[in-house]
Structure formats: structure tokens, C-alpha cells
A and B are shown apart, each in its own frame.
Chain A
Amino acid sequence: MASIYADHAATTPLDPSVAEVMYEEMISNPGNPSSIHSFGRSARKTVDEARRQAASSIGAVPENIIFTSGGTEADNLAVAGFAKANEARGRHIITTKIEHHAVLHPAEALEALGFDVDYIDVDESGIVSVKDIEAALREDTILVTVMHGNNETGALQPIAEIGALLQEHQAAFHTDAVQTFGLLDLNVDELKVDMLTASAHKIYGPKGAGFLYVRNHIQLEPALRGGEQERRRRAGTENVAQLAGVSKALKLADTHKNERYEMLADRSAQFVQALMEKDITFQLNGPQHERLPHIVNVSFQGVSVEPLLVNLDLAGIAVSSGSACTAGSVEPSHVLKAMYGDDKRIYSSVRFSFGRDTTAEEIDQIAESLERVLQRMAKKA
């Protein structure tokens, strides 16, 4: 087991107090929130409380939150569910080349159904330009989906600007905020988004839980049918204990948001500084400034990434290449490809992502191990 976990963008450990709350809920309350007996009513209260928390965390009202089994389901609902319900208004969709697969793959599935999807390029820092989105807009564009913070490079996208651009257009605007949620102050009105995706397991909450924010007038075709839950937009017995956990995780994220942001930015800066001091040759993948505080993606020239990851793991350090969500694959990242084409650097990139428990000592240890491993690998080569 790795003793230093630096893969928080893949998933975060469950907060012990969140585990506690979930356990309590499961022990004390077997109810199904749809049942009218008192157990059911108490379960309903837990669900309502989670909905309030989720709404207030993004400046929304509770009615606009649809709980899902995670970010992937929420993204699919926003992209495929929206497109299918709004086909009559047009079949053109705009997204970017750097989205998570939970957006890209449903978009591809829509293409197979006859939708027309534009995948907009990004610049070398991994940021999409508002002008390019504007240029791609057509009369029959029904949906624009652009992620908020990229999970591989940490690049922040100009969501509020795109939102402003779309005010005058029929297209609805969705953002996948899985990586920024809980770290940045999010407000759906300021971002001018119609839909927003969040996932709990990236903020020390439970796996298999997330939500989609959906503005009032937006119509969706549900993927899961068969019950009155979530205003008929997502059937299935609510996961009450998990939602109690989500509430707690949201509260924790909220209370410490600003300090955590500063602390993570410090750790990332310290890490980059340490690499420079050790004379390690590296290239930073992603923007200098418009970025998430906890993700540092670097390429080590001429180093193949698999043995590097294995060696780091043996040294007790858990990091990843690209996105964990590409189930076990070490294919070159589609995000880096969009930024750099087929440049060598995309084959030697590692993503370090820090968390609230990452200490300054751990940063030093990571840098030291990295130096040793790279030296050893260079000798062998």
C-alpha cells in the first residue's frame, strides 16, 4: 500500500466523519423515503437536507438538484438526456477535445444517432477559447458542454464567459465541475450555466454518489425510469445513507474551502520548486495561472511512463498517468494530445494531485523519490 497518496484527482479517501454519519444513518434508519411511515419520513428528511446542502453549495435551489450514482451518470444525463429531449430544436452540439470520457463518449453515441457534434480544440495550455465556441455556434445548436476544471492538467476553462456568450442563444450550457466542486466557490448564476455536474468521491465523500444541477426550464429525457424519485428525472430508491454522507462531505468542503485552496496551491508550488531545485528535467503540462490548485501534470523527457509509475509505486507513492477513469488504460491522454499533438511529451506525462492531508514533508519525499527513480531509470537506459 502506498504510503503517500498523490492521486486525489482520481479519488479521495472517505473522511472518517463522513463514514461515521453514513454508518449512523444505516444503523438507525432502514426507511425508504417513498414510504409514508415514520421511517420513510425520516429518510425523506435526510434526502431533503442533502438536497439543500448540494443546492446551497452552488448557489441554486433544492428543486434543481438531481441526485445520481456519480459524475458519469450526471454527465450522461446532461448530454444524452438533454439532446434526446430537445432534438426538435436542433441536432448540433458543441463540446471540447479535453472533456472527460463521461462527456465525450455519450457525445460520440449521439453522433451515431445522427447528431452533429463539434469537438473544439484547445491551445497549448489546455484552455478553450470563447471565440472558437462562438465561431462554432449555429442556429440549430442545442447544447454546449465545456468542463470547468480539467482532470488531467487542472486547466480552468472560461465558463462564465462562455455562459455570457450563450445568453443570447437557444443553446443550453452544461459544465462538468467534478474537479472544481468543493475547491472553488461555484455559483451557477455567475457561471451562467444551465446544468452542472458534481461527484462526491472527489471531495472525501462516498463513491457512487453525485448530482446534476438543472435549471428550471430545462427538459431532460431520463436514463432511469420507474419511480417518482428526483421529480421523475432519475428513478431508483434514494441512497439515503450515502446522501447523508454527501451532506457531511459538502459541509466539510464548505467550511475549509479557502484555506484548503491556499494550502493546495502552496503544495503544488513547493513541488514544482523542488523539481527545479533538483535539476530534474521536466515540462509542465497545462497553464501557469488559470489552473486548479491541486493538480500538477509534468512530462519527464524520454522517460516511459509505465515503469516510472511502477517504480514510484514501489517507493510508496501513488500517482497516475492521465485520467484514472480510462479504466486501467495507459493510452496517451486525449487531453495532452489535444494540447500538443503527437509530441513526445504526451508519452511521458505524470499527474500528481494533492489533497487536504498532503503535507509539506510528503511533497519533499515525493520529489526525492522521483529524483532517485529517474536517476536509476536513466542509468538502466
Chain B
Amino acid sequence: MIYLDNSATTQPFSEVLQTFQDASMQYFGNPSSLHSAGMNAEQLLTKARTATAKLFSIDPKEVVYTSGGTEGNNLAIKGTALEHVSRGRHLITSQVEHPSVLEAFEQLENAGFEVTYLPVDASGRVSPKEVQHSLRKDTTLVSIMHVNNEIGTVQPVEEIADILQHVPHTYFHVDHVQGVGKVSLDFAHPGIDLCTVSGHKVHAVKGTGFLYVRQGVSLSPLFHGGKQEQSLRSGTENVPGIAALAKALRMSLERSDELDRLEGLKRRLMFAFQEMPGAVVNTPDDASAPHIFNVAFPGVKPEVVIQSLAKKGIHVSTKSACASKLQQASPVLLALGRDVETATSAIRVSLCFDTTEEEIDQLLKALHECLPEFLEVMGAKNA
């Protein structure tokens, strides 16, 4: 079984599962309770929060636990826009964001906000200059992802942060879900106000994550209730999940010396398909994440490739998992300027630290076996 869909979700590390189990059984109290069972849970929560904050050189108070990336993005975007509506109704994002960002903006558009969706270049990159040019007096938020989940492009978020740092009325949010542990980001950069992290992309358990909220940034919460997480996110805390998240983040960051190896594997894939007739590599050559590779075979149905690989025990995906049920063109690839044929025929291969060279070889071998046939079928049709 070769699992190469790690951008959709990862297998939790076994140590992380152990932490989750132990915390579930030994620290089951409600952290809001005043007795020892509650206080023990509260202490574990504090420990996890402190450890997580330390990993990113931020303050524990700046960590707001959520149920994952979708919630983090929704909280950051709607929370900022609604809280600061008296200062303006203009927002900026890009055309290649994850649906949890784009749909949050759509919801705000319906509520009377004005949203600028910045275009990207052929490698999927937003230009910091364009961000600067789009800024208005009434712009309250810019939201740009760090690493694109479909093609792996790394956005120049620190350059954008350099600009926004000097624009006090405009907050900057970064969707770091695909970047965390793979492409480093300086959370403490004075231009970054909000940053989303999701646990299940870094071998933690699903339904965990946090939103970094720089001290002094105020947000309007999505859920109101027991005032947990400094009132930004009410609801009984998922303490075992949070402890497991701290562990997974630490373990992932500790393996950063393996990123070069991953980059090497991705390069292998790039080389293999750059020369292949009928293949269009969508992952850019420079400034792309080490774990995501996207290639299209225009005219070939991606499901057919996926099923054929699955029969050989190899699992890859089309587009992002969150949208894969819609058999439509990838909006990300269209934004890059790819044609509809290309945008409807991409497959994504996404790696994790445990991916081996042999696994990549097997994938290449399997694709070389099945692709000529598919491409031929198409060629025949085209003729």
C-alpha cells in the first residue's frame, strides 16, 4: 500500500496516537471544572499550548485552538471582517485559495463586503506589488495562503507581510495549512496577524488545529458560549486532540532535515514528466513546496488514472480532497491560465516524511505502464 495523498490527510504518527490515548484516559476532566480532574486537564492544555507556542516562537495567548483548518480560516476571515466592519468593507484575497477561504469571502460578499480576488501568474503566484496596488483606505483584511494545496506553489507571504506591516488598518491572514512543517514561516513577523494551522495534515488527529492570533488583534467569534479560548472559540476543549497536536507538530518540525530528501523526490517526479509527451507539469520549478506534485494529462480522465493506480495499491488524488466530488475544472489551474482540458485532468501526488524513493519509483513505473494506453485512446479520438 503506497499512500501518496498526504495533502488530503496524513496518517497520525504512532507516538501521537499514544499521546491521544493516554490523554483521553488520564486527563478526561473538563478544563473549566475547578476540581483536580478538571485542573489536571487544564494543566495538560496549558502545557500543550505552551509547547506549541514555543515551536513557532509565539506567545501561548496567541494560540486559539479550533476544530481544524476550515474553522481556522472561517474564524480568521469572517471574524476580522465582521469585527472591523466600521473601518471598512474591502477585503483582498487570491483566486487560488482553498475553498474554506474562498467561500468565507463569498459569504461576506453576500453580506455587503467587497472582495478583490487577485490573479496569479503562470506558476500560481500572487504578486506582492499587486497586493500593494489593491490596498485601499477601507481594506481591513488581506488573506493569502502560504502553500497551495493543489500544485504546491509557495506564495511570497513574508514579502506581503513586509508591505502590510506598514499598513496598520489592514490585517494579514495566512492559510498555512499546507505549509506547516514543510515550508517554514516566521509567525512572529510583525506583518502577519493571523495564521491557520490544521492538525491532520501533519500527522496529528483529525478535527484539531489552531489559529494564531497576534496579540492585540480582535476578532468576532464564530461560536459563543462558555468563553473558552479567551472567548474566541467557545466549546469544551478537545484536550486529548490538542495534546496530540502539540506532539505531532514537534515531531514534524524535528524532521525538517528530511525536507531536502522530499524535495529530491519531488524533483524526480518533475523531471520524469517534464519530458513526457502528453503531460503538463503544473507544479512550478522554483519556490514550490517539497511535498506536492501536480501533473495533468490533457484529455485523460483523472479518475481513470487514479483507479488504475489504486489497483496497484498506489493512492493519489485529483485536485484537493475537499472538492474532488465536483467533476469540474480546477479553479486553481484555470487561474494559472491552463486550458479546460488541462484543468480537468490533473492528478496530485503528495508526499510525507515516510515516503521512500522506492515508492516514487513504483509510482513512476505504474504510470509508465498505464499512461501510454490512456494517451493513445485519446489520441485516437482526437484524430
Contacts and interface: CB of A to CB of B under 8 A. Distances in A.
Nearest to B208: A208
A32 B324 CA distance: 11
Contacts of B237: 207-208
Interface stretch (A138-146, A156-164, A218-226): A218-226
Given A76-B225, A235-B103, A237-B9, A228 B24 contact: no
Interface string B289-310: 0000000000000010010001
A242 B30 contact: no
B11 A236 contact: no
Interface stretch (A97-105, A124-132, A278-286): A97-105
A32 B30 contact: no
A31 interface: yes
B204 to A, nearest CB: 10
Contacts of A22: 20, 24
Interface in B309-340: 310, 315-318, 321-326
Contacts of A241: 205-206
Contacts of B36: 1-2, 313, 318
Contact of B241 (A75, A76, A207, A223): A207
B234 interface: yes
B74 interface: yes
Nearest to A236: B70
A297 interface: no
A235 B77 CA distance: 15
B142 interface: no
Interface in A19-38: 19, 22-23, 26-27, 30-32, 34-38
B5 to A, nearest CB: 6
B238 A327 contact: no
Contacts of B306: 36-37
B343 to A, nearest CB: 18
B71 to A, nearest CB: 6
Interface string A308-334: 011011000111110111111110000
Nearest to B201: A237
Given A226-B98, A235-B100, A13 B25 contact: yes
B32 A226 contact: no
Given A11-B28, A223-B222, A224-B222, A208 B10 contact: no
Interface in A46-89: 69-73, 75-76, 80
Contact of B321 (A32, A101, A199, A326): A32
B8 A32 contact: yes
A302 interface: no
Contact of A227 (B240, B318, B322): B322
B37 A2 contact: yes
Contacts of A323: 226
B312 to A, nearest CB: 12
B35 A40 contact: no
A102 B71 contact: no
A157 to B, nearest CB: 19
B238 A37 contact: no
A328 B69 CA distance: 27
Contacts of B372: none
B100 A34 contact: no
B236 A208 contact: yes
Given A76-B222, A207-B241, A325-B32, A35 B70 contact: no
Contacts of A12: 28
Nearest to A306: B34
A252 interface: no
A10 interface: yes
A26 B98 CA distance: 25
A259 to B, nearest CB: 23
Given A26-B12, A70-B236, A235-B100, A224 B70 contact: yes
B67 interface: yes
Contacts of A80: 224
Candidate in A2, A207, A326 with the most chain B CB atoms within 10 angstroms: A207
A237 B322 contact: yes
B33 interface: yes
A136 interface: no
B316 A37 contact: yes
A229 B10 CA distance: 18
A22 to B, nearest CB: 8
A14 interface: yes
B24 A39 contact: no
A197 to B, nearest CB: 11
Contact of A102 (B73, B205, B225, B324): B225
Contacts of B190: none
**Residue among B103, B225, B326 having the largest count of chain A Cβ atoms under 10 Å:** B225
B67 A101 contact: no
Given A207-B240, A209-B207, A226-B74, A10 B225 contact: no
A166 B164 CA distance: 52
Interface in B1-44: 3, 5, 8-12, 14, 17, 20-21, 24-25, 28-30, 32-38, 40, 42
B236 A72 contact: yes
A318 B42 CA distance: 14
B99 A206 contact: no
Interface string A112-128: 00000000000000000
21 contacts: A7-B35, A10-B29, A10-B38, A26-B11, A30-B12, A32-B5, A35-B8, A38-B315, A76-B234, A101-B225, A223-B222, A225-B100, A225-B106, A226-B74, A227-B99, A235-B103, A324-B30, A325-B236, A326-B32, A328-B32, A328-B42
Given A7-B29, A102-B225, A318-B36, 16 more contacts: A2-B35, A10-B30, A11-B33, A13-B25, A36-B317, A36-B318, A37-B316, A76-B222, A102-B226, A208-B207, A208-B208, A317-B35, A321-B34, A325-B30, A326-B32, A327-B228
Interface of B: 3, 5, 8-12, 14, 17, 20-21, 24-25, 28-30, 32-38, 40, 42, 67-71, 73-74, 98-104, 106-107, 198, 200, 205-208, 222-228, 234-241, 303, 306, 310, 315-318, 321-326
Q: Which 9 A-B pairs have the closest CB atoms?
A: A226-B100, A208-B238, A105-B224, A239-B207, A72-B235, A325-B226, A102-B225, A236-B70, A69-B67
